[in-house]
Structure 1
């Protein structure tokens, strides 16, 4: 029998195609749901449609309206995600991991998960996955995961509230030219320096690897090291987060954390 406090693991899509607003609002809603009974929850899924996930730091850039317009013109849905860092663009060639806890061990969570993510990537082929920032990468971070010190393939960010912490990870598996161009053009609109040569997906160095393979490997790793129990998201939380997609469109992307604060889950 699983422990009452065993970490919960949700895998696979919850839907045929939800909006990016709904997808990114869900962890923000869950993080702020004081009535939730779980102590730790991990959601691993292949990403949905083309998305540019901005951050509050991006909102302070004088180029945010231009960056939003550039992303939308390219066919990407724009959202301000709950965790920090800088913008990231992805589509269904990526895998997204949301790790929610009722504790807030900021540095420890980053370091442990980054090392584990690198180990998982190394297990998928001849991949020299390392933890560390590549000079000139998009959304730079100490605990990015790169390949051979040349290209970034994993980025992570965290959000801490009074109810716990959300650690989110985007693993770029297949990065097509459309995604590369959006990362380049949106970064330019925001005034961020970027070396385009640092943009890559895991499949660029391990041909044949698919997003589903990566999602499965990551889920297996979380299941093993956390002794997690497989479950599904609360339908009420899914329905509640879906309402974020109905917010009126403005010149700026929807801030899902602000939306979650204003629309708490009952």
Structure 2
């Protein structure tokens, strides 16, 4: 599997990396990227249509989070600088539904975190960030990971985020609380969990490598990463 490593340091460059993964997947070469994006709030399409969107953007920027709009669905997601992101591009299997692809991704993420000692389960608490049925949470606690999909005729992108450390979780909760209030979307700051709160490491590098290994060795992977360094390793 083609694996891109390194941080782009800029959301526009991140989009270019993702586009290259999709282009390769459309030619039958699936790819993966796991990284820590720069501080930003990625707004979904529903957010962009909301009356409070411009106010939400200003709030994010005032708190040091660059506001961007993302191509996949869902509500706003904050990346606090150590929040891990992943993007996995595949050629769609005609026998696999969207729901099956979601379920497989949830299990891949959960298995990776369990391998690090984190006690996690599928699902999310009420009024969490980027609410959706396909999420990972601390067992009995806050949401750690949200997952979304972008579908094309020739490729599918499964993407998500993982909140790693307690400080990361506090920053995500604080900016999300203000942004969601501006968007008039229910949100509970206490609903944000972290890998560390689940008993795993608070090191984003360890979490990123565990996720990478889980995708490469999992049902979509071939167990053989072909690593391309897109810039300096982080």
TM-score range (shorter-chain normalised) is: 0.7 to 0.9
Ranges of 4+ aligned residues in structure 1 off by more than 6 Å: none
Q: TM-score, normalised by structure 1?
A: 0.77
| Cα shift readout 1:200-222 (whole Å, capped 9, x = no counterpart) | 22123326431111111111112
CA distance in 2, matches of 1:101, 1:75: 34
Equivalent position to 2:63, from 47, 60, 74: 74
Please list every run of 5 or more consecutive structure 2 residues that lacks an aligned counterpart in the other structure: none
Work out whether 1:9 is the aligned partner of 2:21. Answer: no
Equivalent in 180, 204, 213 of residue 197 of structure 2? 204
* 2:231 is the counterpart of 1:231: no
- Residues 1:167 and 2:158 are matched in the alignment: yes
Select the residue among 31, 42, 52 that pairs with 1:53: 42
How far residue 28 of structure 1 moved from its aligned partner, in angstroms, is 3.9
Instruction: Call closer, same or farther: CA 1:25–1:60 in 2, change over 3 Å.
Output: farther
| RMSD, matched Cα | 2.3
State the structure with bigger RCO (CA 8 A, min sep 6), 1 or 2. 1
Give the counterpart of 2:115 among 120, 123, 127.
Answer: 123
Aligned residues: 224
Kindly report which structure 2 residues correspond to 1:15-34, keeping only aligned pairs within 5 A, or say none.
15=8, 18-28=9-19, 30-31=21-22, 33=23
Q: CA deviation at 1:229?
A: 3.5
Asked if residue 218 in structure 1 is aligned to residue 207 in structure 2, the reply is no
Q: Structure 1: which 5+ residue stretches go unaligned?
A: 1-6, 239-266
Find the structure with the greater CA-based Rg. 1
Q: 1:185 aligns with which of 178, 187, 191?
A: 178
Cα 1:87/1:72, change in 2 over 3 Å:
same
Aligned counterparts of 1:9 and 1:70: Cα–Cα separation in 2: 35
